[in-house]
Structure 1
Amino acid sequence: MNNNKIHILFLIQRNKVNKRGGTPLRCRITYNKHRKDFSLGLFINPNYWDSKKQKLLDRAENSKIVNTQLSLISQKINEAFLLLQLQQGNFDVDDIYSQYKGENIRTEKTLLELYDLHNNATKALIGVDFNETSWGRYVENKRKIAEFIKYKYKRSDIKLNQLELKFIKDLEYYFKTQKKLSQATINRSLQRLKKIVQFGIAENYLDNNPFVLYKPTKHKLKLIYLTPEELKILEKHCFKQIKLQQVKDLFVFCCYTGLAYQEMSALSKKDIKLDFKGNKWIEMYRKKTSSKISVPILPVAERILKKYDENLPKISNQRFNSYLKEIADVLGLDKKLTHHVARKTFATTVLLYNGIPMEVVSELLGHSRLQVTQEHYAKVVKTKVGNEMNRLAKKLNEND
C-alpha cells in the first residue's frame, strides 16, 4: 500500500465577490507535492470564515449547512484516496480528484510496466530477431532505472505521463554522480531508455516523446590497442603459471582473429572451415549483431589452435580480464588490458597498419555497418596516412 499522505485544504477566493457579497469556497488537494484546486460551488461571507479551524463561524446564517457539506466533501475525498491506495498502487492527485468525482480513472502504464511489456515481447524473439545478450541488457537497464526512481522520487515507479526532459537530464546526472559511469556507458543506457519510450509510443501508451529536445553528451572514443612491439613482447613471453599462459594464448589468438569474448568462448571445431585452397577460416555468427563473420586463421592463431587441439580453454570474462591485468603488470605494459583490447589490436596493428582497407576490416570484425568501423578507427587511418605522407615527403626531399 502507498503510505504517502494526503492534505485537504478549504480556502476562499477573495478576488471574486457575487452580488450578495459572498466569495467562492474552493478546495485544494495536495498529494506527493502536487496540487489539485477546484471550486465547490459554495459562496460564503468571507468575514465569517475561520481558515485555521477550516469552518464557517456559527454566527453565519448558513454555517450548519456549509460546515456539514465541507465535512462530507472531506470524508468523500479521503474515501477516494483510501480506495486508490488499495486498488491502484501508483496514482497522482488528479486520480484522487477523479475518484472523488466518481469518474472513470484511465488506467495508465508506468515506466517499469512498459519495460516489462517490452522485455517480455523481445524475450519471445530471442534467436529470431533478438539475442539473449541484448535482451539481458534491457533487463539490467530496467534495474538501473528502478534504482534511480527510488533514489530521486522515493517511490517504486513513475507514470508515463510524468516523463519529461527533466527526468532524462536528472537520470544522466544520477548516472554520473551516484553511479560514476563513463559517458559512453551513460549514453548506451539512455539509448535503451529511448527505445523503451519509442516502444511505448508505438503501442499507444505514450503521446509525447521526452527525448525530442534531448541532446546526448558527446564523448571521445579512446582507442586502446597493442603496438606491433608490445604485441611481439606478449607473444614471446612464457608464463610459468598455467592459467596466465592460457589467458595470454587466448588474448594473442584474438589479436589475430578479432573474435569478441562470446565468439571466442563459443568457438568449436565445427566453426573451423577449409576453403578451396586448403586455408583455414573461422565461420560463425556474431551474437551481438547476428551477422556472419568469416575470418582467415593467420599463422599465429593457427599455432595456438594446434596447441589446444582446436579446443580453446574456457574461462569467465571477469577472470579473463583479471588475469590480463596481472599479465600487463608482469610485462610492464602501461595499458589497461581487457579482452576488447585484443579485438582493437586486430583491427589496428594487424589489419589497418598493414594496409587492409576499412571495408574489409569492417567485414572481418562482423560490424553491422561500415559507419561503426569508421567511427572507431578513422583516427588510426589518418595517423597511418600521415606517416606514409611524411615518408613520401622525406623521400622526395632526398631526390631533390
Structure 2
Amino acid sequence: MEKSFGLFFFIKKSKSSKAVEHFIYLHITVDGVGCDISTKRKCDPAKWNGDAGRADGKTEAVKSLNSYLDLIQRKVFEARQQLLHHGHPVTAENVKTVFFGKEIQTHKYMLMEVFKKHNDQMAELVGLEYAPGTLERFETAYRHTLSFLQWKYKVDDIDISKLDYEFISEYEFWIKSVRKCNHNSTIKYLTNFRKVINRCVRHGWLLKDPFANFKMTLREVERIALTETELQTLVAQQFPTDRLRVVRDIFLFSCYTGLAYADVKKLKRSEIIIGVDGEQWLVSRRQKTDISARIPLLPAALTIIDRYKDHPQCQGNDVVLPINSNQKMNAYLKEIADVCGINKTLTYHIARHTFATTVTLTNGVPIETVSKMLGHRNLRTTQHYAKILDKKIGEDMKGLREKFK
C-alpha cells in the first residue's frame, strides 16, 4: 500500500495576459510522485482561496463550482479504492487512469528486459549524450546482474516487483565474494544498477525503491604513485627483453601524459598536433568521460613517440604506441617492479597518479591546469592527488620539526 496520498486544487495561470479567469487543476501525489488533472473549470484568481483549494464567495456560481470540485475529489478517492480493491498499484498515474474510466494495463516488467532496453537506448546516444566508457560500464553491470540471477535464483530474468532490500544485499555479497571485487568497485557496480532501478521507480513500474535503506558509501583509498627516485630508476633500467622494454616505455608515456590505459590504446597519430605555443600537444577525448584532454607533450613523451613511429603495430593501426591488453600490461608491470626493486604493486593506473603528483603538482603546475590535462569533470577529483602531496609534505617535515625543538 502507498505510504502517502494527497491532493489539492490549484489555478494554473493562462499564457494569455488578457485572461481574467484561469483553469483549475487537481494535483494528485502518491509517495512523492504526482500528476495533474484538469477540471475543465475556470476561476478568477482574486476569488480563489489557495489554502482551501476552493473559490471564495456565496454566489450560486461559486457554490456550483465548489460542489463540482467536491465531486471530483470524491471520484478521485473512489478511483484509489478501486485500485486497492483490484490489487493494482496505487500510483498517481493509475488513479488518474481509473478516474477517466480507463483500464489499468497490467504489464509485467522484467528486470533484464528493462536493463537491456536502457542500454540499447544509451548505445544510440553514445557520442551525443554518453561516452563509450559509460556504455561499457552499464554493459558490464548488465552481465553481472544476469550472472547473479543465474547464480542465486537459477533464472535469466526476474519480475522487478520482486526486488527488495534483501535482493540488493545478496547482490552486493555476490559481487564481493564471487566476483572478488573490493568495496569501492562493488559500490560502483551497484551505482550503475541503481540508475536502472531509479528509472523503474520514476516510471511507476516499481512502487518501492529497493535501495531505500541500503548504504552506498565509497571508502577513501590511498592513491599510489611513483616517487621521483622510482621514476628515474624505471627510466634508467636496462631490460633483457623487448617485451618488458616496450611495456616500460608505454607506462612511462602515461607517467608523462596522464593518459589512462584505454586512452593510450586508442591514441591516433592525428591526435598529436601543434599547439598555440608552437609545441607538440596531445589532444584526445577520454573514453571514460568523453571529455577532451589537451596535454602539452614533455620531451620524454616525445622521445617515446618517436621510438615507436616505425613499429609495425603502430603503422598498421595508425596508433601512437604498440599496446597490449591491460591484463598483460599489469602482469608485465609486476615483473618490471621486481627487476627495478620498486616495492609497490605496479598497475597501469599508477602512471596516471604519477603524472598528477610527481610529474606535475610536485613541480608547481597549478591544480586547475592538472585537472584540465587529466580530463576531470570537476576539481574535487583532482584534489585527491593534492592530499597525497600534503601527506608527503607532512612526512618530509617531521625531521625538520625535530631539529627545531
Q: Common fold, TM-score beyond 0.5?
A: yes
Residues 275 and 296 in structure 2, CA contact (< 8 A), matched pair in contact too: no
1:179 has 2:201 as partner? no
- Alpha-carbon distance between aligned partners in 1 of 2:212 and 2:252, rounded to the nearest angstrom: 45
Q: 1:233-267: CA deviations, max 9, x gaps?
A: 00011223112111111111110100111221222
Instruction: Tell me what 2:358 maps to.
Output: 349
Instruction: Tell me what 2:42 maps to.
Output: none
Q: Give 2:388's match in structure 1, choosing from 380, 388, 399.
A: 380
TM-score between both structures, scaled by the size of structure 1:
0.68
Residue type of the alignment partner of 2:246? Q
- Alpha-carbon distance between aligned partners in 2 of 1:314 and 1:387, rounded to the nearest angstrom: 37
Equivalent residues in 2 for 1:147-296 (5 A)? 147-296=147-296
Instruction: Tell me what 1:316 maps to.
Output: 325
Equivalent residues in 2 for 1:15-94 (5 A)? none
Superposition deviation, residue 162 in structure 1: 1.4
TM-aligned CA distance change 1:267 to 1:165, over 3 Å: same
- Alpha-carbon distance between aligned partners in 2 of 1:105 and 1:281, rounded to the nearest angstrom: 58
Residue type of the alignment partner of 1:272? I
- Alpha-carbon distance between aligned partners in 2 of 1:232 and 1:153, rounded to the nearest angstrom: 53
SS of aligned partner of 1:283: strand
Superposition deviation, residue 283 in structure 1: 1.1
Residues 285 and 292 in structure 2, CA contact (< 8 A), matched pair in contact too: yes
Residue type of the alignment partner of 2:391? T
Instruction: Point out where structure 2 has 5 or more consecutive residues left out of the alignment.
Output: 1-86, 89-102, 311-319
Q: Percent identity?
A: 37
Aligned Cα RMSD in Å? 2.5
Instruction: Tell me what 2:15 maps to.
Output: none
- Alpha-carbon distance between aligned partners in 1 of 2:150 and 2:262, rounded to the nearest angstrom: 34
Instruction: Tell me what 1:328 maps to.
Output: 337
Superposition deviation, residue 207 in structure 1: 2.6
Instruction: Tell me what 1:359 maps to.
Output: 368
TM-aligned CA distance change 1:270 to 1:149, over 3 Å: same
Q: 1:335-378: CA deviations, max 9, x gaps?
A: 2212111111111111122232322221111111212222x324
Residues 263 and 287 in structure 1, CA contact (< 8 A), matched pair in contact too: yes
- Alpha-carbon distance between aligned partners in 1 of 2:139 and 2:160, rounded to the nearest angstrom: 18
SS of aligned partner of 2:295: strand
SS of aligned partner of 2:293: strand
Superposition deviation, residue 387 in structure 1: 5.4
TM-aligned CA distance change 1:109 to 1:324, over 3 Å: same
- Alpha-carbon distance between aligned partners in 2 of 1:156 and 1:268, rounded to the nearest angstrom: 40
Superposition deviation, residue 293 in structure 1: 0.6
- Alpha-carbon distance between aligned partners in 1 of 2:401 and 2:364, rounded to the nearest angstrom: 19
Equivalent residues in 2 for 1:75-154 (5 A)? 106-154=106-154
Superposition deviation, residue 394 in structure 1: 7.7
TM-score between both structures, scaled by the size of structure 2:
0.67
Q: How many residues align?
A: 296
TM-aligned CA distance change 1:308 to 1:156, over 3 Å: closer
TM-aligned CA distance change 1:155 to 1:330, over 3 Å: same
TM-aligned CA distance change 1:365 to 1:391, over 3 Å: farther
Return the index of the structure with the highest Cα Rg: 1
SS of aligned partner of 1:212: coil
- Alpha-carbon distance between aligned partners in 2 of 1:132 and 1:275, rounded to the nearest angstrom: 26
Q: 1:75-106: CA deviations, max 9, x gaps?
A: xxxxxxxxxxxxxxxxxxx99xxxxxxx9982
SS of aligned partner of 2:273: strand
SS of aligned partner of 1:256: helix
